[in-house]
Amino acid sequence: MHPVLKDLIGLLRLERIEENIFRGDSRDIGSPQVFGGQVVGQALSAAQNTVEGRVAHSLHGYFLRRGDVNSPIIYEVDRSRDGGSFSNRRVVAIQHGRPILNLAASFQTPEEGLLHQAEMPDVPGPDGLKELTEVAKDMLEFIPSKMRRLLTDKRPFEFRHVEPLNFEAPEKLPPKKHVWIRAVDSLPDNPVLHQNLLTYASDFELLRTAILPHGLPFMRGSVIMASLDHALWFHSEAKMDEWLLYAMDSPASSGARGLARGQIFSQDGRLIASTAQEGLMRVVDPDKRKPRSKPGTQN
């Protein structure tokens, strides 16, 4: 298996240190704090470790503080309810004695039911589209040095954008985009693992959809963007080593916040999952921008 993907799988398998208490490490992917998808994916993994015979169907998380990539994260699970068909878990992610994420996850015993779904967008397939790292390398002169690792380092997933990327002078565009996603190597046939990896990957790209109508070069530091929450609903079993289409849109931005939604489809058109995320979207003067607070401090 590709080392980067193998490392991510290990990252999502938490260490049990006590009943309902788990510990996870972090990886520096070039962002100024722990990647939000990592924290949510690990929180889901912690909850999954306390449930048997039931599959996660939804999760809702709130990001409270920036995570420190150099310190472990402790996950405390509250077994809120185990009913006849559903189980609910509440997870708190803690660093330096303070919560950085609150997450609630719901699990269900698999059963048959009524079926309908949204149609998959009619967009070009992944074949022939450039991978994100290839696009970024072609435009390095327009990418600030502090952002280059985030865009050019090898990742556990391939990202192929349907719409062209413009790092130099972004124009005002409709708040929609489509990205094909696939793990860089084949994976074990483990539904729980694929769910965790989908959760991790669902945080990439989503919030930036809300900046598209404004044509702002956020990579130049003119926009502060930070996820405030993340919600995910699982509709069908995911296969992260097969191509998935992430279709995203942003219905609104106001009050220095942007809302983005997503639908994740298999290549044959099945709706795998739906997402929603609200985030801070504050326009600033890059020359007057204050330094960010250190991880573990109040933002």
Question: Which entry of 38, 202, 203, 274 is annotated as an active-site residue?
Answer: 203
The Cα 110–Cα 284 span in angstroms is: 48
Q: Which tokens sit at 265?
A: 């489809």
Q: Which tokens sit at 185?
A: 């190597």
Q: Which tokens sit at 264?
A: 């994740």
The Cα 208–Cα 226 span in angstroms is: 10
Residue 277 designated active-site: yes
Question: Which entry of 33, 42, 106, 227 is annotated as an active-site residue?
Answer: 227
Residue 203 designated active-site: yes
Q: Which residues are catalytic?
A: 203, 227, 277
